[in-house]
């Protein structure tokens, strides 16, 4: 990791630059695949499944018997862990439900807002080097709570934990399709895969690009997303071994990930670096983590206020506060996807089982975007109802404003009603 000591504020943007890649060539490749899937449906999906994922199944949809086989194959301890995580995630997301409240803005004028589920959603779970069954919990559970009528899942992985978790959360339609072709299939629909209204889920640079391109076509996606990242604020009250473990937990996601340590103590930098060296040597995904650490930073600052100003400017996906009075410091956070408070709150807890959602904005998008929640699976529709007396109260206001904007038909829509009300 690169080390910076007391950098001036005007250098922060350069120091905290995420890994950047030229996406122009990538977009051309991805767009060509998406167009092919849109125009040729299953035939195009099958072609790319064979080319990229070596999948040659006659049908994409997973048979019901496969879910039973997966459940039987999974060891009881892992099933129990998945069930516990599902319970916690369900509890947290259930609490996000709200009951519509009717507001009378003036006599006879009632307004309210109601959450209505997105009818058709598609979830994407990548294959890669790890079966991300935890993301099925994070996406499938709020989709079910929201009441989405149709939930489909695309993944190139048939790992038993993937199928078991899908069954646990109530997803029965799973398609063995990965990559850009999976995003295209869900976005445009094929003979086998139904079209959805919104796509959720992580993926590599190709999948991320595909989601952004179908978003330009008018299909909703969960959020712009890039490589995983974590930032840690640490002082002399931190446990260096804990901090190193947290940094490596994100560095092992991929070589394009980034981890950042901001501290008020040079001693912390030295101790965390030593702990990183020790732990990295024992890590099975050492090569991947090493690539990420090359993109990463340790930054020494004068004081806590400067540290928080820097971290809010960075807007990390995950922010760990391993410092004195961490709960009070948490009140200073304005830009972060999810915050982990104190030495005994590892980022891994949020990734798996504490209850919060791990689908979070990256690449600085936490300045304006929230992570996935129950709200991600619903639309908020406003309603209003006006009585004749209510229209008498509000009518003149509407007429005056419509006339001032030169929209006479808008005014007339009120005037014709008032005439009928006043002259029955």
Q: Concatenated DSSP letters for 10-67?
A: GGHHHHTPPP----HHHHHHHHHHHHHHHHHHHHHHHHHHHHHH----S-SBPPHHHH
Is 159 labelled a binding residue? no
CB atoms within 10 A of CB 98: 13
Six-digit token pair at 282?
Answer: 């024992």
Q: Is 82 helix (H, G, I), strand (E, B) or coil?
A: helix
- 318: annotated active-site residue: yes
Is 181 labelled a binding residue? yes
pTM of the shown model: 0.93
Residue 149 and residue 53 in one domain: yes
Distance of CA 420 to the CA centre of its chain: 52
Residue 200 and residue 56 in one domain: yes
For the stretch 56-111, pLDDT in tens is 777 899 999 999 999 999 999 999 999 999 999 999 999 999 999 999 999 999 99
Q: Indicate whether 97 belongs to any domain.
A: yes
Is 385 labelled a binding residue? no
Domain membership of residue 400 as a residue range: 387-422
Six-digit token pair at 317?
Answer: 């996906």
Among candidate residues 201, 222, 243, the one where a domain is terminated: 222
Is 75 labelled a binding residue? no
Residue 20's pLDDT is 72
Q: Indicate whether 293 belongs to any domain.
A: yes
What's the Cα-to-Cα distance from 332 to each of 63, 245, 315, 328, 419, rounded to whole Å? 50, 25, 13, 8, 56
Is 351 labelled a binding residue? yes
CB atoms within 10 A of CB 313: 15
Is 250 labelled a binding residue? yes
Six-digit token pair at 353?
Answer: 């089982």
Spatial CA neighbour of 200 closest among 158, 138, 119, 265: 138
Spatial CA neighbour of 120 closest among 72, 186, 59, 61: 186
Among candidate residues 222, 241, 263, the one where a domain is terminated: 222
**Number of domain units in the chain:** 3
Contact yes or no for 143/96 (Cβ under 8 A): no
Query: Across the chain, what does the average pLDDT equal?
Result: 95
Residue 406 is part of a domain; what is its CATH number? 1.20.5.1300
Is 71 labelled a binding residue? no
Is 93 labelled a binding residue? no
Name the strand (E) or helix (H) holding 239: none
For the stretch 241-275, pLDDT in tens is 999 999 999 999 888 899 999 999 999 999 999 99
Residue for token digits 């120091």? 15
- 393: annotated active-site residue: no
Q: Kindly tell me if the per-residue pLDDT of 128 is higher than 80.
A: no
Q: Indicate whether 300 belongs to any domain.
A: yes
Q: Indicate whether 338 belongs to any domain.
A: yes
Is 124 labelled a binding residue? yes
- Measured distance CA(289)–CA(270) in Å, rounded: 19
Q: What's the CA dihedral at 362, 363, 366, 367 to 10 degrees? A: -170
Instruction: Please tell me which residue in 229, 317, 347, 399 is annotated as part of the active site.
Output: 317
Provide, rounded to the nearest whole percent, the portion of the chain with pLDDT above 90.
89
Residue for token digits 């039973």? 68
Residue 297's pLDDT is 96
Instruction: Please tell me which residue in 318, 347, 358, 399 is annotated as part of the active site.
Output: 318
Q: Kindly tell me if the per-residue pLDDT of 129 is higher than 70.
A: no
Under 8 Å CB-to-CB from 336, ≥6 apart: which residues?
A: 231, 311, 312, 315, 316, 317, 318, 319, 366
Residue 230 and residue 89 in one domain: no
Q: Residue 382: beta bridge partners? A: 113
- Measured distance CA(271)–CA(17) in Å, rounded: 25
Six-digit token pair at 292?
Answer: 């990420």
What's the Cα-to-Cα distance from 55 to each of 51, 59, 66, 164, 211, rounded to whole Å? 8, 10, 16, 21, 22
Contact yes or no for 151/141 (Cβ under 8 A): no
Residue 80 and residue 178 in one domain: yes
Q: Kindly tell me if the per-residue pLDDT of 116 is higher than 90.
A: yes
- What are the two backbone dihedrals, phi and then psi, of residue 117, each rounded to the nearest 5 degrees? -65, 145
């Amino acid at each position: 990791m690169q080390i910076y000591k007391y950098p001036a504020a005007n250098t922060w943007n350069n120091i905290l630059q995420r890994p950047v890649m030229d996406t122009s060539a990538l977009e051309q490749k991805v767009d060509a695949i998406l167009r092919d899937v849109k125009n040729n449906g299953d035939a195009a999906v099958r072609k790319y499944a064979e080319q990229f994922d070596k999948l040659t199944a006659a049908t994409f949809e997973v048979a019901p018997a496969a879910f039973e086989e997966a459940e039987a194959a999974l060891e009881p301890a892992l099933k129990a862990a998945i069930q516990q995580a599902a319970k916690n995630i369900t509890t947290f997301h259930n609490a996000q439900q709200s009951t519509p409240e009717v507001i009378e803005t003036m006599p006879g004028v009632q307004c309210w807002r109601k959450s209505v589920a997105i009818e058709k959603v598609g979830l994407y779970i990548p294959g890669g080097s790890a079966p991300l069954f935890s993301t099925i919990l994070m996406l499938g559970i709020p989709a079910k709570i929201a009441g989405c009528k149709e939930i489909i899942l695309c993944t190139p992985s048939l790992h038993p934990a993937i199928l078991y978790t899908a069954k646990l959360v109530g997803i029965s339609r799973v398609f063995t399709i990965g990559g850009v072709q999976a995003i295209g299939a869900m976005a445009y629909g094929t003979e086998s895969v139904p079209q959805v209204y919104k796509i959720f889920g992580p993926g590599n640079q190709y999948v991320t690009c595909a989601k952004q391109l179908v978003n330009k076509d008018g299909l909703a996606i969960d959020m712009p997303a890039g490589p995983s990242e974590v930032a840690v604020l640490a002082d002399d009250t931190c446990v260096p071994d804990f901090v190193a473990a947290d940094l490596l937990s994100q560095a092992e996601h991929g070589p394009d990930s980034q981890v950042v340590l901001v501290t008020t103590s040079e001693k912390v930098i030295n101790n965390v670096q030593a702990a990183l060296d020790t732990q990295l040597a024992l890590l099975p995904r050492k090569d991947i983590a090493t690539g990420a650490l090359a993109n990463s930073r340790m930054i020494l600052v004068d004081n806590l206020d400067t540290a928080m100003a820097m971290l809010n400017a960075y807007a990390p996906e995950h922010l760990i506060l391993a410092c004195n009075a961490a709960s009070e410091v948490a009140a200073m956070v304005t830009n972060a996807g999810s915050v982990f408070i104190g030495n005994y709150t590892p980022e891994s807890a949020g990734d798996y089982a504490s209850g919060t959602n791990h689908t979070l904005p990256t690449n600085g998008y936490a300045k304006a975007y929230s992570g996935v929640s129950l709200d991600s699976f619903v639309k908020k529709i406003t309603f209003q109802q006006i009585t004749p007396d209510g229209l008498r109260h509000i009518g003149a206001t509407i007429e005056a404003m419509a006339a001032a904007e030169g929209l006479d038909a808008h005014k007339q829509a009120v005037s014709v009603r008032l005439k009928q009300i006043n002259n029955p």
